[in-house]
Structure 1
Amino acid sequence: MKVSPRLEHLVLGYLYTELRGSQINDVVRQLTQAGVALYEVRVRTNVGSAGFALSDLDEVYTVCKRNRVKIRFIRREGMPFVLRSLRRRKSMAVGVALFVAILFACQSVIWQVNVTGVDSEDAAAILHVARQTGVFPGAFKQSLPDVTKMQVTLQDRLPSMMWIGVNIVGTKVKIQALKKVEGVQSLEDNPHNIVAARPAVIRKVFATRGSVKVIPGQTVQPGTLLISGSLGDGAKEVPATGTVLAEVWYKSDVEVPLHVAQSVLTGVSVKFDTLQIGSLNLRVWGWRNPDFKAWFDEEQDTTWKLWNFQVPAVWRQVTRYEATKQEVLQSKNSAIQTALTLARQDVLSKPARDRTILGQTVLHTEVAHGKLYATILTRVEEDIGTIAPIPVQPPTPDENKTQS
């Protein structure tokens, strides 16, 4: 069985017919020789069925009449039949068009702009600035500035806010803000040192302010002074700034199952088409809903533009393939590679700045209970500096004598 192309269904029209007569096989052979594409062909003695494009109707009718085979139309698909049906029901067509137009208008306009995280006075100020940037109820979504650009603009025009986040959900714009706490000085603004946050071996030091106290190749422990904010010789203390890149080691204990369930396609598939307008998804073609326990969708989207305006509608052709779970036994080497990847992901997920993987070493492996247990050492280059206050220096003996 071969399924007709979806484009032919939608544009040219498609007919599915029942054939009755003793010469059905001859009809199929003659139509094939004449270059007529037949789909979903089934023949049982004197009864059969076949589908073909609407443009081939005259040829099919002529061959069937010549062989005294009767035709009965079972299914009609495609735009020609849809349009003919709509012409018979003009009021319904107008209603559908009006519904789509209203739906399109509703999904293309911002209806609400909400501000959370601040009091009503600050919220009114944020809404005023947002309106100046083009964000207000009634604005077209296509005319809104980029979210990142919007956040930067609001932050620049509202210096009293410590953070502003913008999120567009459907027809709503949600603005979250956090106001600065006045009178609180950040530790970063006070004179301070930069010390090591963890054991490491120094690789590179870039100091923009302060005095460097370590050299490449030096091993440091947590709390070791890296960049000093005390310049000495009676100079004013400063906030030390800079980057200290060092080699750090992470040990990860990873479990990898050797029996892995994978999804395998069975070869059975169905096709359907949907029209997505904003957040609304309407199925417009292909009504068969197979009972697939698992599946994989292959999607092909078509969008439209009117001049420079992007139409907020997407025609999506979906091919849904049936899938089934199949257990696969992977080798030990493959499991080790998976363990290395998991260890790498574990290290990269930890909070740090300027982190780069230098290498990985498998320290220990063991296979037991259908799993691979591995201990992996990951070598990383990262910024190990952290802010620490400058210790108060005790008075010198000369200062004590002077005070006495």
Structure 2
Amino acid sequence: MAMTREVGMKKKRDLADIQVKVTGQNVENIINHCLASGIILSHMSKEKDAIVFYTAYSNINQIEETVRYNEGEMEVLEKSTYERYYGFIKKRSAFFFGIGLFMIIIILMSQMIWKIEIEGADPPLEYEMENYLDKLGIKVGSFQFLLPDLETMQTQLLEEMDEVTWIGVNKTGTTFHFEVVEQSLPEKEEAKPPHHIVAEKTAVIDSIFAEKGQPMVQQNDLVHKDDVLISGFIGEGEYTRAVAAEGEVRGEVWYKVTVELPEKLMLETLTGDSKNQYSLQLFGFQIPIWGKDAGEQFENAVVTEDTYDAKVWRWNLPASLDIKNYQESKTINNVSKKNIVEKSKEAAENKLKNHISQDAEIKDEKILHEDSQNGKVKLVVHYQVIEDIKSEAPIIQGE
């Protein structure tokens, strides 16, 4: 049979293909005539004196003429996928129209400005900036796609506002955040009166650098409170004059710190049990979804929170999913002597750090005394600290 040739036959169905059944004595001639006319037929199968195949809906009239010419009959067994879906959508047009309208509204609302934050500006400057943003159309309720890009926005603000040094512009979802750095003119430093740099406390000199003035001590010298470290007198004889001494002097200072801790320490640990609380953040409102009472399940809990923003393609929607995780915790007694000593040392070091400057360096530590009585552990620790030991002493006329 000539119709068994694969010439012009598609291997895959299209959405617009329909299933047709041709019956008659000359079905082979009908099929051959269709193929010769360039009509594409696919998935053909023979059933006695009938042939079933798929073809495009646009070919139906031409095939019908060929069937009549050859005294056959034609029947459409299956409509095209396109027609079926079109009919399904048409019957429920109101529903799909509502869904489409809802999505359009959500996308439009996600492209609106819902919040403007200005950080780093004092109230008068913030008010001025809000007025200028309003002139640019950057205000709550404006559509983001009608505004200039962030870089252009930043340039326009800097050109308009002379009181600022820098403006950072960021957009997070429906919120615009402006970070302002105001101009600040450096205060004119007043000339310091002549003075010496003296020791603030007893120490051993670790290092000394005289930027202005005459150094009076050197490394490893022992100095006491009010000893002159850098003299404010420079020059000799009649050329001697007083200046404001400047420089850096660091010394080794000794500290003795005493701490007491209870022999039984209370430590917090996680039990492994946890509960989640889910809520929807929509236009700034929080709507509980699941696990509303999760925070009430445990007497003590460690809480962590994660937020997942909703997006449609590259647009951020004004909605997010908030998940709070509550992990049960409990307090236990830790009676390890070694652990108590370590905790005591930590407490002693923290106590020391509250009395020394941030740039001070703890060189060495040594436990001088350790005692346990009346349910408490007493620890005395000796520290060697390298720190700034200088202070200023005015030069009195006549010295």
2:297 is matched with 291
1:206 is matched with 209
Contact 1:247 1:382 in 2 (8 A): yes
Give 3-state SS (helix, strand or coil) of 2:233's partner. Answer: coil
2:397 is matched with 392
How many matched pairs? 268
Contact 2:119 2:178 in 1 (8 A): no
Contact 2:263 2:377 in 1 (8 A): yes
Q: Distance in 1 between matches of 2:385 and 2:316?
A: 46
Q: Distance in 1 between matches of 2:225 and 2:307?
A: 54
Which runs of no fewer than 5 residues in structure 1 stay unpaired? Answer: 1-86, 163-181, 395-404
Mapping of residues 93-108 of structure 1, within 5 Å: 101=109, 105-107=113-115
Q: Distance in 2 between matches of 1:259 and 1:275?
A: 44
Displacement of 1:200 after TM fit? 0.6
Residue 218 and residue 299 in structure 1: after superposition, are their counterparts in 2 closer, same or farther (change >3 A)? same
Displacement of 1:143 after TM fit? 4.9
Q: Distance in 1 between matches of 2:212 and 2:323?
A: 59
Which runs of no fewer than 5 residues in structure 2 stay unpaired? Answer: 1-94, 132-160
Mapping of residues 24-35 of structure 1, within 5 Å: none
Partner AA of 1:158 in structure 2: S
1:269 aligns with 2:303: no
How does the TM-score come out when normalised to structure 1?
Answer: 0.53
2:158 is matched with none
Give 3-state SS (helix, strand or coil) of 1:189's partner. Answer: coil
Displacement of 1:247 after TM fit? 0.5
Q: Distance in 1 between matches of 2:226 and 2:284?
A: 53
Contact 1:343 1:378 in 2 (8 A): no
CA deviation digits over 1:118-141, x for unaligned, max 9?
Answer: xx89x999x9655674489xxx96
2:178 is matched with 144
Displacement of 1:246 after TM fit? 0.6
Residue 276 and residue 201 in structure 1: after superposition, are their counterparts in 2 closer, same or farther (change >3 A)? farther
1:158 is matched with 184
Mapping of residues 292-331 of structure 1, within 5 Å: 292-302=298-308, 315-326=321-332, 328-331=333-336
How does the TM-score come out when normalised to structure 2?
Answer: 0.54
Partner AA of 2:257 in structure 1: S
Residue 333 and residue 189 in structure 1: after superposition, are their counterparts in 2 closer, same or farther (change >3 A)? same
Contact 1:201 1:247 in 2 (8 A): yes
1:373 aligns with 2:375: no
Q: Distance in 2 between matches of 1:216 and 1:385?
A: 14
Q: Distance in 2 between matches of 1:113 and 1:209?
A: 38
Displacement of 1:144 after TM fit? 2.5
Aligned-residue identity in percent: 23
Larger radius of gyration: 2
Quick check: 378-387 or 328-337, which moved more? Answer: 328-337
Give 3-state SS (helix, strand or coil) of 2:341's partner. Answer: helix
Contact 2:107 2:315 in 1 (8 A): no
Of 252, 262, 282, which aligns to 1:257? 262
CA deviation digits over 1:41-60, x for unaligned, max 9?
Answer: xxxxxxxxxxxxxxxxxxxx
Displacement of 1:214 after TM fit? 0.7
Q: Distance in 2 between matches of 1:101 and 1:272?
A: 27
Of 215, 218, 223, which aligns to 2:218? 215
Displacement of 1:356 after TM fit? 0.5
1:110 is matched with 117
Residue 112 and residue 230 in structure 1: after superposition, are their counterparts in 2 closer, same or farther (change >3 A)? closer
Contact 1:104 1:277 in 2 (8 A): no
Residue 363 and residue 285 in structure 1: after superposition, are their counterparts in 2 closer, same or farther (change >3 A)? same
Displacement of 1:305 after TM fit? 8.7
Of 335, 341, 345, which aligns to 1:340? 345
Q: Distance in 1 between matches of 2:341 and 2:383?
A: 14
Give 3-state SS (helix, strand or coil) of 2:122's partner. Answer: strand
Q: Distance in 2 between matches of 1:206 and 1:144?
A: 44
Displacement of 1:226 after TM fit? 0.8
Quick check: 191-200 or 384-393, which moved more? Answer: 384-393
Contact 2:217 2:229 in 1 (8 A): yes
Partner AA of 1:258 in structure 2: E
Displacement of 1:388 after TM fit? 1.6
Residue 207 and residue 268 in structure 1: after superposition, are their counterparts in 2 closer, same or farther (change >3 A)? same
Q: Distance in 2 between matches of 1:304 and 1:228?
A: 68
Residue 285 and residue 330 in structure 1: after superposition, are their counterparts in 2 closer, same or farther (change >3 A)? same
